[in-house]
Structure 1
Amino acid sequence: MSPTAPPEPSYDHLLPPSWKPLITSWLQEDTPSFDYGGYVVGEAHREAWLLGKGKEVAVLAGSPFFTEVFEQLGCQVEWHVKEGDTFEPVKHVATVRGKARHLLLGERVALNLLARCSGIATKSKRIKDLARSFGYQGIIAGTRKTTPGFRLVEKYGMLVGGIDPHRHDLSSMIMLKDNHIWSSGSITSAISHARRVGGFTLLLDVEVRTEAEADEAIAAGADIVMLDNMEGDELVSVARRLKERWVGKKFLIESSGNITEGNLKERVAGEIDILSTSAVHQSVQHIDFSLKIQMPKSE
């Protein structure tokens, strides 16, 4: 008898032990003293519908955060749309049950989390799908230009949307940018110092402005060369020459800076291994959700 296949991993399995106290702190921030509105509605048990609205097809992302908000308030959430699935508005996405004052206590925190996380996932999926439609098979990645205190949710949204979240923090990969290089004296010196302390487990990503700087970075042992703010024919031709000149040398080429849906097509050359963009999370359009308490059915 063949063993039963394990269930598909859930995105919330990625979350670290520290994430639930974050929810607690956000609830504390939203109600630091008295809940005046909650006093008005009292203890009656009610059912509320989470509705996905807006004008476009969206990706649901952030359901663990939404659920945890209400579980900490003694409510139960039943999901009707799976995390990572798309839905068309208006959609009854979930049902929340609990005391009316607790539903309202968690409403804004839960909706804000879900709206931004789903917005990031929706934008990430759209950019990835567009790149694939142009024939690009490389990596689409976000950036570290995230909101302080909210990074976990934003990086999670990128993953649910199907792209690479890139490095999470200064400790998860060594990235040497212009200020590191200028302060160290040269690309070679900066890489040498970084290797000494970073060891063999950390990848080394080096930002360069010219083809000559890229050559120096590759020669010094960079794992990834970021061609920063190069665009159009220059980007493609420089990447192609680097691949040809350093054939047999293991490294990846990353393109970053001013990548949008509008100019994506000119960046998706096969010589570019990674396209990293902040367009998937900075100034992204949130997905419109609302939580509507249902009137109790008459006896």
Structure 2
Amino acid sequence: MSYEHLLPPSWKPQVTAWLAEDTPSFDYAGFVVGDVEREAFLFGKGDVPAVLAGSPFFTEVFKQLGCQVEWHVKEGDTFTPVKHVATVRGRARHLLLGERVALNMLARCSGIATKSKRVKDLATGYGFKGIIAGTRKTTPGFRLVEKYGMLVGGIDPHRHDLSSMIMLKDNHIWSHGSITAAIKQARLVGGFSLLLDVEVRSEAEADEAIDAGADIIMLDNIEGDELVDVARRLKDKWRGQRKFLFETSGNITESNLQTRAINEVDILSTSMVHQSVQHIDFSLKIQKSAN
């Protein structure tokens, strides 16, 4: 499935800014190769199967340089290295102008999609029926690409920014005085259209947040049997009285995923799908002229 039509109007100027950053002055090496027409092959490399993600951004990089991209692998598909993923055609100088910008973006976006799919598949294999989500711990200026990679990988990207959903964390609550008071103040300005996610550290705090009208309860630093017990007790207590979801987050790894991916919680949010992920190795090779 392609998610290109989700992208906001601002995404193409972002690509322009990437190109401007990479060549702020003269293109000295490009002077050497000139404007001869060439064809370049994009290869997906590395040593493990990977998910292709970021093709709209890759195509736009070369479109802005007057080049054409023909894809041989669909976005979202898993390919096994070494794979001829796409062919790019245009002037040699322009192919090289876009090369590193396009490859860097594709490597990270595909890495996030690959990790996201792996984590989701693992959780599903453990019997988890809830939502796997990313976090807002993204790279400034590159969030759109990283959130896009999560979508292609099949997980929920979570909130995109501070305006997407109201999330009250420990600092918000401590600064305002209490969970109930913070929720009341947030509802005053957020209205009915924004979900309210509240971070809590104990069953008592979770109970208070539910009573005050939170939509999502993030059970922070509650793990293992305690997480299961707290979620079960509170769902039983509030059944038929309040609608809410439980979220667990923090210190989640592939090695402990099975203990966290439990169906007593509804959302498992983790930054391991986009922070410090292994990038997918791609290369762009200009083909020699037949002459």
| Range class of TM-score, shorter chain | over 0.9
Residue type of the partner of 2:152? V
What is the DSSP-based 3-state SS (H/G/I as helix, E as strand, rest coil) of the residue aligned with 2:149?
Answer: helix
Q: Which residue of 2 aligns with 1:4?
A: none
Residue 47 of structure 1, CA deviation:
0.4
Q: Tell me the equivalent position of 2:279.
A: 286
Q: Which residue of 1 aligns with 2:66?
A: 74
Corresponding residue for 1:270? 263
SS in 1 for 2:89: strand
* Structure 2 residues not aligned, in runs of 5+: none
Structural mapping, 1:93-172, within 5 Å? 93-172=85-164
Matched ranges for 1:1-299 at <5 A: 10-248=2-240, 249-298=242-291
Q: Matches of 1:229 and 1:152 in 2, distance apart?
A: 29
1:261-284 Cα offsets, whole Å, 9 max, x none, are: 111000121111000000000001
Shift of 1:56: 0.7
1:229, CA displacement in angstroms? 2.1
Secondary structure at the residue paired with 1:126? helix
Aligned to 2:264, the other structure's residue is in SS state coil
- The one-letter code sitting in structure 2 at the alignment partner of 1:92 is H
User: Within 2, Cα distance between the matches of 1:94 and 1:154?
Assistant: 21
Q: Give the deviation of 1:87 after TM superposition.
A: 0.2
C-alpha deviations, 1:210-269, integer Å up to 9, x for none? Answer: 010000000000000000122111111111111111111200000000111111000121
**CA distance in 1: counterparts of 2:286 and 2:80, whole angstroms:** 21
Offset, 1:28: 0.3
Post-superposition shift, 1:76?
A: 0.3
User: Who is 1:6 aligned against?
Assistant: none
2:206 maps to a residue whose letter is A
CA distance in 2, matches of 1:63, 1:143: 22
Aligned-residue offset at 1:203: 0.2
TM-score (norm 1): 0.96
SS at match of 2:120: helix
Q: SS at 1:218's partner residue?
A: helix
Cα distance between partner residues in 2 of 1:66 and 1:229: 39
CA-CA distance at 1:24 after TM superposition: 0.3
Secondary structure (helix, strand or coil) at the match of 2:199 reads strand
1:15 maps to a residue whose letter is L
Q: Give the count of matched residue pairs.
A: 290
Offset, 1:296: 1.3
Structure 1 unmatched ranges of 5 or more: 1-8
Equivalent position SS for 2:230: helix
SS of match in other structure, 1:66: helix
What is the TM-score with the length of structure 2 in the denominator?
0.99
- 1:10 Cα deviation (Å)? 2.9
- Which residue of structure 2 aligns with residue 3 of structure 1? none
Q: Distance in 2 between matches of 1:296 and 1:228?
A: 60
The farther-off stretch of 235-244 and 183-192 is 235-244
